[in-house]
Every structure is written in structure tokens, then in C-alpha cells.
Amino acid sequence: MEYSYPFSTDWSTEEIVDVVQFFEGIEQAYEKGIKRENMLAKYRRFKQIVPSQAEEKSIFREFEEASGYVSYPVVKLAKEGTDGTLIKVVPKQRH
């Protein structure tokens, strides 16, 4: 798919790369699955860059509009899961 990832011009190059890797983890959870520990590590790093809940929601919304992937269910499953769990989200069918 061709779309751009949301980011802030205030972030360093390293922070942008880390946020893109977080969103790649979200994509992976929908496409083939991602280990819980990997997703949580990506999310923890994302939260270091985006500590504000309001900004997180805004960035999640931007990513969903661009990609069609919803971040929240992936993060929720990662937080609720146990180590070794494969996080795999099945997209809801649109009618």
C-alpha cells in the first residue's frame, strides 16, 4: 500500500524511524501477527515520543485514515496478552 505515516516535524530522525516501526508493527498485527513482546516494546518507545493521550489518539486517527488499520485494538491486545502471545487482529468486514 502507498500511504505516508503520521509524524511531527518536532521529532528527530530517530524518533520518526521509531514511530514508523511502531506503525509497521500495527500493520504486521493485521497481516500476519506480531509477538506481544515486540509490539509492547514498539508501543513503549512510541509513548516516550508521544506521551500525551490526546496526541496519541490524533496520530492513531491519522494513521487509520491513511492506512485503514486501527491501532487501538492491537495495543489493547498487547497490553492484555501474556508473553509469547501472537497478536493477530482480524479486520471487521465493512457492509
Q: Is 87 inside a domain boundary?
A: no
Percent of the chain residues topping a pLDDT of 70: 96
Residue 91 pLDDT:
76
Torsion angle, CA of 17/48/73/61, rounded to 10 degrees? -70
- Read off the pLDDT of residues 20-74 as tens digits, 9 standing for 90 and up: 999 999 999 999 999 999 999 999 999 999 999 999 999 999 999 999 999 999 9
Q: Is 28 inside a domain boundary?
A: yes
Contact (Cβ atoms closer than 8 angstroms) between residue 63 and residue 6: yes
CATH number of the domain residue 50 falls in: 1.10.220.80
Integer angstrom CA distances of residue 28 from 31, 71, 76, 81, 87: 5, 11, 15, 17, 9
Residue 45's domain spans which residues?
13-81
- Read off the pLDDT of residues 46-59 as tens digits, 9 standing for 90 and up: 999 999 999 999 99
Q: Is 42 inside a domain boundary?
A: yes
